[in-house]
Amino acid sequence: MDLLEYQGKQLFAKHGVPVPDGRPAKSVDEAVQAAEAVGYPNVIKAQVQVGGRGKAGGIKLANDTAQAREHAGAILGMAIKGHTVHELWVEAASDIDEEYYAAFVFDRSAKKPMAMLSRMGGMDVEAIVETDPGAMCKVHVDPLIGFQGFHARRLAYGAGIATDVIRPVGALLAKLYETFVSEDAMLVEVNPLLVTGDRKVLALDAKVTLDDSALYRHPKSAELQGGGSEDPQEQLARERGLTYVKLDGNVGILGNGAGLVMSTLDVVAQVGGKPANFLDAGGGSKAEAITQAVDVILSDEKVTAVLFNIFGGITRCDEVAKGLIEAFDQISPQVPFVVRLDGTNDKEGRVLLAEAELPNVYTEATMLGAAKKVVKLAAGAVEAKPEVEQPSQNVGPSAPQG
């Protein structure tokens, strides 16, 4: 889960990482109250999960109440790269002497946390590395011993930061590592890490990604909305515990197992189709889960045909068939379905489908064949929406359900 800036800063503050004094706000009045509380001048910042907020006019300096009110009104509701601003963060303005960059990331290759410090900051990390590779120092941390003083010294001397702030930057890094571990983060990034005119260090921005698998240990974080997707299908799927990713095509996809679903998307694309979604029904899905999944897929109005690609291991194909039949009972889908069932109880599943005589449901023996079929049907539906489908592969006559 990606957190918004202010949510990250609140976690930082909890662990003693120095941040500017600030308050969240969801309305103009709240923003004005927040501005009065932190004092002037202050900065009104749009809380959205995209870069380039400043350029888009989503970060403004307020010198008095009138300006705070004006800026808050302008920024709330603004769209930044497709993200509507619903929340603001109002914080005390800081004077900037130097801008550094600091982060802890999950290094999957080394299988250790990696600390990063650069004497250049305030631009994105790729740009830092391009502009001045020598300015970036990276050090791995053994998770069994944690972040030690020597790690901080290696980073500080390696990055060549100003010698008078080596100690406070080291202290900030230690607190940041504590945040990274105690909050089960996959990423904590401070950019810029600010050195103020009176040589204090502050985390001026916060980018935090939490490990979804560890949210059970962090009930407060689990309640946060985060800066994630506002997509209605993705929200619906999340509520139902389904692994769903919205894409922009018209072929709805349901499969079991992440790898097989990814592979299905690729094969559909390869034969000329455009997947509408990724949906992993997971291992051991029961009929009810399948029915709910169909509902989520069809809630995307762009979907003109749906492909079921199931290779049952834990998942039983007869349960999948039952779920599809139930979905037809409940929501009478208006688009064609192509179903490929292999694996555990595949024969039973195919028999159930044949007996149910669902309108507009076609079975295919192979993944490739099923992909070709669904792409053809999806395209046909866009062009003509024929009343009667080709009967050749149909498991039953296209009769109304009884």
Partner 1 sequence: MSVLVGEDTRLCVSGITGREGSFHAMNNRAYGTQVVSGVTPGKGGQDVEGVPVFNTFHDAVEGTGANTAMVFVPPRFAADSILEAEDAGIELIIAITEGIPAHDELKVYNHLQRGSARLVGPNCPGILSPEKANVGIIPASFFNAGNVGVVSRSGTLTYQIGNELARRGFGNSSIVGIGGDPVPGSSFIDIIELFEADSETELIVLSGEIGGNAEEEAAEYIAEHVTKPVVAYIAGFTAPPGKTMGHAGAIVSGSSGTATAKAEALESKGVRVGRTPTEVAGIAAEALDAYSSASAQ
| Catalytic positions, written as ranges | 101, 189
Q: Among 20, 22, 121, 275, indicate the residue that binds partner 1 (CB under 8 A).
A: 275
Based on the shown chain and the rule CB under 8 A, indicate whether residue 197 belongs to the binding site for partner 1.
no
| Cβ neighbours of residue 359 closer than 8 Å, sequence gap 6 or more | 328, 396, 398, 399, 400, 401
Residue selected from 260, 351, 354, 395 as contacting partner 1 according to rule CB under 8 A: 260
CA 216 → CA 20, 111, 221, distances in Å? 29, 23, 9
Task: Give the number of other Cβ atoms within 10 Å of residue 104's Cβ.
Answer: 23
Nearer to partner 1, 72 or 103 (CB): 103
255 binds partner 1 (CB under 8 A): yes
Residue 150: CB minimum distance to partner 1, A: 18
Give the burial class of 339: count Cβ atoms within 10 A of its Cβ; 0-12 exposed, 13-18 middle, 19 or more buried: buried
**Shortest gap between Cβ of 83 and partner 1 (angstroms)?**
13
Going by the DSSP 8-state scheme, the letter that residue 280 receives in this structure is E
DSSP state of 2: B
Reference 81, options 103, 57, 99, 64; nearest CA is 57
Which of 277/394 has CB closer to partner 1?
A: 277
Query: How many chain residues bind partner 1 (CB under 8 A)?
Result: 52
Asked if 292 and 331 count as a contact pair (C-beta separation under 8 A), the reply is no
321 and 291 Cβ atoms separated by less than 8 Å? no
Query: Is there binding between residue 144 and partner 1 (CB under 8 A)?
Result: yes
Cα separation, 291 vs 328, in Å, equals 8
Residue 366 sits in the site that holds partner 1 (CB under 8 A): yes
Site for partner 1, residues 297 to 356, rule: CB under 8 A: 311-315, 342-344
Choose between 98 and 280: whose C-beta lies nearer to partner 1: 280
Q: Residue 126, interface with partner 1 (CB under 8 A)?
A: yes
**308, 324 in Cβ contact below 8 A?**
yes
Q: Binding of partner 1 at residue 57 (CB under 8 A)? A: no
Does 95 bind partner 1 (CB under 8 A)? Our answer is no
Q: Does residue 278 touch partner 1 according to CB under 8 A? A: yes
Six-digit token string for 93 = 């303005």
Regarding 232 and contact with partner 1 (CB under 8 A), the answer is no
Q: Which residues bind partner 1 (CB under 8 A)?
A: 106, 108-109, 111-113, 126, 142-144, 181, 184, 186, 211-214, 216-217, 243, 245, 247, 255-263, 265-267, 269-270, 275, 278, 280, 283-284, 311-315, 342-344, 366-368
